[in-house]
Structure 1
Amino acid sequence: MQINRLAVSEVSGDNQTGRFHGLIRELARHIPHIEHIVGGKGMSGWQARLINGLPHRRDSTQEWWRRQRSIFAYRAKSRYVEDKILAMNPRPDLCLQMLQHFCPFMTSRRLPYVIYLDYTMAQAAENFPGWTRGRNRLQLACHIHDEGVALRNALHLFSFTENTRRYIMRRFGVPGERITAVGVGGPHVNSEPRAHLDPLKLLYVGHEFERKGGRTLYEAFTRLRTKHPGLSLTVVGDDAEAPPEGVICLGKVSDPAQMNRLYREAGAFVLPSLCDPSPLVIVEAMHHGLPVVSTRVDGIPEMVLDGKTGLLVPPRDSAALADALDALIRRPEAERLAMSRAGRAHAQTHFNWQRTGEKTWEVLQRL
């Protein structure tokens, strides 16, 4: 396929998409003209109300209002972005939809499109229903139906992980040859190999404390601290619950220099997620040479090589998590440092935008 002009459709108000601009930068090496369209930007008041829905009660919380969506949301936003793309002159050759919150051209097919996605709403509904909170059954069913239409009508799908690729094949019936797992790039980190790791200094970084397994972590930490009184845990995230003794909650940390310092001071990274498509904080931790203790859910086993770059346990199992952390603490430092080196090499080799961009471009050329 000859691609001279590419329209990139992104999510309005979702700063997560900014993390994926590394892919666009790599594609720009091959595609002369790339135009960004942000869904929702410039939308009129009545359009926004149609998509966001109206509150059912006056005392609705801000969080409920943010999550509330009408049954028209997916298609309404898709058509809005589609009109903006069709107004471009000259018209793009292809549309790249970033993530799966809406999808222009899903029904009209007036322009071929591909999707780069980490997860689907159907996966979220099955694996962690709390992630779909704010949608009633009809709204959720409409969204999942529409995302199925978008996935099946796409020219090609690019998933972060093999886990999501397999799910889309099974749940939505998309042929395997039309889905490619291209990975995701991690943050660029200039860090030196670790010469020492203090396994008693644990670090957790995550938003959505419940979904990221924060309660399981607190239970495991309390259990483990009876064996290792010097154990400490630093929690970074703006919604952490009240911590037990020995836990320091820093809230949200926006300063990159402070985050780098926290990674350097830690001896191990722990993220016992209940549901997590492909958490980039794991990649960041491995770049900093930290062994990772996490869970066997979603795409995490593709990021953490159990026994080589970290340890994996079942979700919601505080006893297993405590045992894994205890095993890491008791390992000889030479073994922990070997795990640190393996993690850095794995992150640098498999989680970089150049690799993801090359794999994506290779497929686009064959379409």
Structure 2
Amino acid sequence: MNAVEHRANQSPALLSDRSPSRSLRILGISPGAVESLDSTTGYGSIVVALFGGLAEQHRVTLRSVRLKGVLHYLNLLRSFTLQRPAWRRYSGLNPWVFRVRSYLAHRAVEQLGDNVDLVMQWQGLNAPFVGKPLKPYTIYTDYTTKLHDAHHYPTYRNSFYRNEQEREVYYRLEGEAYRQACRIFTYNELVRRSMTKDYGVDPERVVTVGVGVCLEPIDPAVEKRYDSRQIVFIGKDSAFIRKGVPNLLAGFALVREVIPDAQLLLIGLSPDRVLNQPGVVNLGFIKDRQRLKQMLKDAALYAMTPLIDPSPGAIREAMAMKLPVVASNVDGIPEMVIDGETGYLVPPEEPKPLAEAIITLLQDENKMRSMGERGYTRVLEYFTWDRVLGKVKPHLHSMLE
């Protein structure tokens, strides 16, 4: 795998070993396909923001532990079942994949040897070592599998494991990775509590640093309009059920009974997915970030009712465009959307409360404007990468002591 290195302007030779401003050699580990700091969409944009921000001061080498070639197909073969949704889940998270990713990360650390001071891994989908850590490491993550597995819905089977034994093995591997980390950086307090309560991680090692928005916020001088009657949703087609799209469609049908000219714009779904419902427009995946930004600017509000979603980036992006948000009160969403102030929180899988919240907003432009402004202010105060990195950086040198 190719590594892309970014060096700080300062020469590390001119700085003392314990100086907070000394440039460190950081190996960044990503479970996805991102191997450069050039990606601008999806999870890649988070990797770019995190490691690109660190690269302003430190030398960062980025490696992916994504399974490719023979390893990818071997995992599919090992996970095979006739039920396609279950096959997708089993191949995504299982003890074998965890161990293989850990081996790939361990090998990357070995290859760089003395050229690495610290390993920083995004997400807890593997350990950056096999046996014992070769270097001090930290994990930055938005979720834990025990938080995920605590959800139970009759309409959505969310188990990643074939049996209880496989579940326990995965929990053990995940817990070992967390407990041996010098620091765990979390997106929110929900994950911080899970680390200490569910995995027994020393509370002193777990720090909530938040997460930034990956879309440039709207110019504060722009006068946002709220008369379009357009509701926007962003989510991947592969997460159609998990993101609560069926509930959103059912709720929107109730909205149309009261507001016949309302529109629901769906972004990120497969263009082949046919949704024969009045007022619903499937725009497919929009890669052009400027076009996406303009669509959020033109919309009146953002809505999504996921069953499970650690910390949806689309909500932060909507708030950055001064949109009020209607969303499920699950996982880390209540730490982003303040009910009654920046939007409304509703139960998942209940179309009526969702519809009532949307109707309330669409019928009151002043309320949408005030909630949108408060959400925008909240993004600037709590969800910027400068704020995240400002909390992360002071811990980096202390992990080497």
- Per the normalisation by structure 2, the TM-score is 0.82
Deviations 1:129-178 (A, max 9, x none): 85755641244332222111111111110011111111221111212221
Instruction: Kindly indicate whether the alpha-carbon contact (under 8 Å) linking 1:290 and 1:340 is maintained by their aligned counterparts in 2.
Output: yes
Distance 2:313 2:321 in 1: 13
Question: Structure 1 pair 13/323, CA: closer, same or farther in 2 (3 Å)?
Answer: same
Instruction: Kindly indicate whether the alpha-carbon contact (under 8 Å) linking 2:45 and 2:214 is maintained by their aligned counterparts in 1.
Output: no
Q: Summarize the alignment of residues 291-310 of structure 1 with structure 2, pairs less than 5 Å apart.
A: 291-310=324-343
Distance 2:323 2:151 in 1: 28
Deviation for aligned residue 1:213: 1.2
Question: Structure 1 pair 242/309, CA: closer, same or farther in 2 (3 Å)?
Answer: same
Question: Structure 1 pair 20/44, CA: closer, same or farther in 2 (3 Å)?
Answer: closer
User: Residue 13 in 1 paired to residue 40 in 2?
Assistant: no
User: Residue 125 in 1 paired to residue 146 in 2?
Assistant: no
1:345 pairs with one of 352, 374, 377? 377
Instruction: Name 2:386's counterpart in structure 1.
Output: 354
| Larger RCO, structure (CA 8 Å, separation 6 or more) | 1
Count of residues paired in the alignment: 362
Question: Structure 1 pair 249/359, CA: closer, same or farther in 2 (3 Å)?
Answer: same
Question: Structure 1 pair 106/250, CA: closer, same or farther in 2 (3 Å)?
Answer: same
Deviation for aligned residue 1:39: 1.0
Sequence identity (%): 27
User: Residue 94 in 1 paired to residue 118 in 2?
Assistant: yes
Runs of 5+ consecutive residues of structure 2 not aligned to the other structure: 1-16, 35-41
Deviation for aligned residue 1:73: 2.0
Distance 1:139 1:352 in 2: 38
Deviations 1:310-333 (A, max 9, x none): 1111222211111111221233x3
Give the letter aligned to residue 146 of structure 1: L
Instruction: Name 1:203's counterpart in structure 2.
Output: 232
Deviation for aligned residue 1:360: 0.4
Instruction: Name 1:136's counterpart in structure 2.
Output: 162
2:103 pairs with one of 53, 58, 79? 79
Deviations 1:253-283 (A, max 9, x none): 2222321232122101101111111111111
Instruction: Name 2:140's counterpart in structure 1.
Output: 116
Give the letter aligned to residue 216 of structure 2: V
Instruction: Name 2:62's counterpart in structure 1.
Output: 36
Instruction: Name 1:64's counterpart in structure 2.
Output: 87
Q: Any idea what SS the aligned residue of 1:101 has?
A: coil
RMSD: 2.6
Give the letter aligned to residue 137 of structure 2: Y
Instruction: Name 1:161's counterpart in structure 2.
Output: 188
Question: Structure 1 pair 317/194, CA: closer, same or farther in 2 (3 Å)?
Answer: farther
Higher mean alpha-carbon deviation, 116-125 vs 254-263, is at: 254-263
Question: Structure 1 pair 56/327, CA: closer, same or farther in 2 (3 Å)?
Answer: closer
Q: Any idea what SS the aligned residue of 2:78 has?
A: coil
Deviation for aligned residue 1:301: 1.0
Higher mean alpha-carbon deviation, 252-261 vs 63-72, is at: 63-72
Instruction: Kindly indicate whether the alpha-carbon contact (under 8 Å) linking 1:199 and 1:268 is maintained by their aligned counterparts in 2.
Output: no
- Per the normalisation by structure 1, the TM-score is 0.89
Give the letter aligned to residue 393 of structure 2: W
Instruction: Name 2:177's counterpart in structure 1.
Output: 150
Deviation for aligned residue 1:219: 1.3
Deviation for aligned residue 1:348: 2.0
Distance 1:55 1:274 in 2: 25
Instruction: Kindly indicate whether the alpha-carbon contact (under 8 Å) linking 2:31 and 2:65 is maintained by their aligned counterparts in 1.
Output: yes
Instruction: Kindly indicate whether the alpha-carbon contact (under 8 Å) linking 1:184 and 1:351 is maintained by their aligned counterparts in 2.
Output: yes
Instruction: Kindly indicate whether the alpha-carbon contact (under 8 Å) linking 2:89 and 2:159 is maintained by their aligned counterparts in 1.
Output: no
Give the letter aligned to residue 163 of structure 1: L
Deviation for aligned residue 1:7: 0.9
Instruction: Name 1:237's counterpart in structure 2.
Output: 268
Q: Summarize the alignment of residues 181-192 of structure 1 with structure 2, pairs less than 5 Å apart.
A: 181-192=208-219
Distance 1:50 1:364 in 2: 37
